[in-house]
Structure 1
Amino acid sequence: MKVRRAMPEDVSALAAIAEASYRTAFSSILEEEVLSSRNAAFFTRRFEASWARMLVVCAGGIPAGFLLMTDGHIDMLFMDPAGSRKGGGSCLLHEAERCGAKSLECFRDNIAARRFYERHGWHPNREYEREFAGRSRSFVFYVKD
């Protein structure tokens, strides 16, 4: 798998990956109305202003996942559920670290993601509650030394 910078023409493919991954990763954490509102159109609007801060991992030239980073903080790391567990997430995370990633946050109950980050040397710094999608949710803030 190869990691590259996102390009404007990637936005719709990345939005589709985000929609599928969001539903897969958060189906046991978020309510159906929240999941259905985070559709490809929602992510397309979000990514139109942020594609320049995104990394894309490709398999055979086709986007398989992406990472969005702001000022050393990983905002999102999503893989296409059909292509996950093939090393793409690790490639993205390593490239983000090379580019200065130092922090991220994760839903406390997203055990698979937490295991992934901890396997890659990220350490929980603190747990906290904050508002997300109209409700108070539990998060874990991770740091990388």
Structure 2
Amino acid sequence: MPTIRSSTPADATALADIWRASVRATHDFLSEAHFAEIEALVAGHYLPHAPLWVVEADGCPAGFMGLTGAHVDALFIDPRRRAQGLGRAMIAHAEAQAGKLTVDVNEQNPQAVGFYERMGFMRTGRSAVDDAGRPYPLLHMRQP
């Protein structure tokens, strides 16, 4: 069973590495300019300051999740640790904290869409652009 704990400022570098590897493995639709723009925000502002949940495997961070109320803001698993139940454990942890969950997921990331559908999420809507107005459609999903 993986360990899930609150993040600390000391986790920021490892979590940024996980974010980069995960995005490179699943977000081939991002332009390099947008990747660099988002990376600066994630690594410089979000990860060092946001209250996050960290999942550990073998005593090391293997993924993280941002949760605001019942909304999953972010869920990234180290690509080398995928298909080991870590994402499922994070969703179960979030459900225990907040009940039925919602999430917005990039439509162009079929692996993530499939994961959330396997976790019981249903599509409830779509936005043509992401939260920053970039041309990456979002699917709005929720658990029934």
Matched with 1:84 is 82
For structure 2, the residue ranges without an aligned partner over 5 or more in a row are none
Aligned residues of 1:15 and 1:40 also touching (Cα < 8 A): no
Matched with 2:128 is 129
- TM-score, normalising length: structure 1: 0.87
One-letter amino acid matched to 1:127: R
Alpha-carbon offset, residue 115 of structure 1: 0.7
CA distance in structure 2 between the aligned counterparts of 1:73 and 1:58, rounded to whole angstroms: 22
Matched with 2:113 is 114
For structure 1, the residue ranges without an aligned partner over 5 or more in a row are none
Runs of 4+ in 1 over 3 A off after TM superposition: 36-42, 131-134
- TM-score, normalising length: structure 2: 0.88
Aligned pairs for 1:1-145 (under 5 A) are 1-27=2-28, 29-39=29-39, 42-50=42-50, 52=51, 54-100=52-98, 102-131=101-130, 135-145=134-144
Task: Please say which of residues 40-49 and 93-102 is displaced more in the overlay.
Answer: 40-49
- 1:77 partner SS: strand
Task: Please say which of residues 112-121 and 98-107 is displaced more in the overlay.
Answer: 98-107
Structure with the larger strand share: 1
Question: What percentage of residue pairs aligned between the two structures are identical?
Answer: 30
Q: How many residues align?
A: 142
RMSD: 1.9
- 2:105 partner SS: strand
What per-residue deviation string (whole Å, max 9, x for no partner) do you get for residues 21-49 of structure 1?
A: 1121111x211222234447842422222
